[in-house]
Amino acid sequence: MAVLTLMALMGCSFFAPKTDADISVKTLKEWLDQKKDITLLDVRTPEEWQEGVIKQTAIQLDFYSDDFSEKLADLDPDKTTVVYCAKGGRSAKAFEILKEKGFKEVYNLEGGIGAWTAKGYALD
């Protein structure tokens, strides 16, 4: 019972779902340092975006917007894509949508931007 109460108090975003292609913040940092050609997709809200982003070159598409799925058509499905949000919940859902739309190489940033800043990595 105590575990259920704790889960309710902390909210479901704390228990972000895993995908079959989660990557760590360390891996993403290495890719960015190596200037690996990736699309960095930030699925947070515009208000969250204003608080800082991993890289200014990230593409911001609000997961909650009515046309989120349609706007994904503007992205290159053949390019490596890393998707992130605040803690990993929305990005895990966006990851699944990207896979359904035929994106070939998609990764979900485990723990989202919260894990990025917890490691001490700066925001742009």
Q: Is 85 a catalytic residue?
A: yes
Contact 65, 72 (CB under 8 A): no
Q: Which of 16, 58, 85, 113 is catalytic?
A: 85
Separation CA 51–CA 47 (nearest Å): 7
Q: Three-state DSSP class for 86?
A: coil
Nearest Cα to 25, choosing from 101, 88, 99, 110?
110
Question: Do residues 36 and 80 make contact, with C-beta atoms less than 8 angstroms apart?
Answer: yes
Spatial distance between the Cα atoms of 22 and 30, rounded to a whole number of angstroms? 15
Active site residues: 85
